[in-house]
Amino acid sequence: MRTLKIIRMDGLVPYAAGYTRQLAEAEELYKNPELLAKLILLQHAPVYTLGRTTKKEHLLTLPYDEDDAPEGADKSYEREASTGPSPLASIPQRGEGNEAPEIVESDRGGSVTYHGPGQLTAYLLLNLKRWEIPIHQHLWNLEEAALRALAAFGLQGRRVEGMTGVWTDILDFGFPISDSTTQPTEGQSKIQNPKSKMAKVCAVGVACQRWMTFHGIGLNVDLDLAPFERIDPCGLGRKPVTSLSQLLGRPVAMSEAEEAVVKAFEEVLGTTNA
């Protein structure tokens, strides 16, 4: 029997704490002979995470100084793919208070992204060999779960070749990436015939060690998107980002998103809820 165990972490979870929880749950899972997967649901405290393919130009206005990089850190930000999780390095920011988002190196694939309150992060842990799932199918499953979660809200998402994640079409009014689905306020020039363009609503990034998967999806539910303006999200040329609340034009409770995401993963994996 295929079983999916749901694990919820309350409050705003520091990135390192979420990562440590993944390692602990994965170690237990690795020793379990059953067809069991674990889905960790949480909201991270504000953090920028630098994946293995991050380049310096993807960081844009982040107050990062190479002199502050931890000893041994790859300052080129063009790191080779690793075989599995590596220790996280928290990079201090100069000239900002304690409330500033962390900047953290991560072992997941992909480039830089942002996590924060109002974004649902779902880490899917399973043994690919035991489940007989190749890594490309695992990535497809993550995207498929996000697509089905969007559909539960009446939204149509899509995959885009060469750009991992889930995208949706929005109207382009010529605003910054965090405001691309918002009508102009007084004093702003409105484009008379706004064009449809795609925006990312869900990011996907994974790592794998000893056949065990780590990381997963970051679904933008109802959050401040301004922090994305300080980076080139996922290193894709500053493509716009959006959220469920922007697309629906209403507040979206995290419980709504969690329910949709859990159901979607159960359908995709063909599991029962543990």
pLDDT tens per residue, range 42-64: 999 999 999 888 888 888 877 55
Selected residue with higher pLDDT from 238 and 189: 238
Selected residue with higher pLDDT from 52 and 80: 52
Of 43, 243, 257, whose CA–CA distance to 148 is shortest? Answer: 257
Mean pLDDT of 91-105: 64
- pLDDT at residue 101, rounded to an integer: 87
pTM for this entry: 0.81
- pLDDT at residue 170, rounded to an integer: 79
- pLDDT at residue 195, rounded to an integer: 52
36 pLDDT exceeds 90? yes
Give the best-scoring range by mean pLDDT among 183-192, 211-220, 232-241.
Answer: 211-220
Instruction: Let me know if 234 is a catalytic residue.
Output: yes
Neighbour-count burial of 100, counting CB atoms closer than 10 A to its CB (0-12 exposed, 13-18 middle, 19+ buried): middle
* Domain ranges (residues) in the chain: 3-154+202-273
Q: Of the residues 147, 225, 231, 234, which is catalytic?
A: 234
Of 270, 234, 196, whose CA–CA distance to 49 is shortest? Answer: 234
What are 224-269's pLDDT values in tens digits?
A: 999 998 888 787 777 889 999 999 999 999 999 999 999 999 999 9
- pLDDT at residue 196, rounded to an integer: 58
pLDDT grade for 177, boundaries at 50, 70 and 90: very low
Query: Which region among 18-27, 135-144, 179-188, 195-204 has the lowest average model confidence (pLDDT)?
Result: 179-188
Contact 151, 222 (CB under 8 A): no
- The Cα–Cα gap between 226 and 180 comes to 11
Of 174, 167, 232, whose CA–CA distance to 198 is shortest? Answer: 167
Report the CATH number of the 3-154+202-273 domain: 3.30.930.10
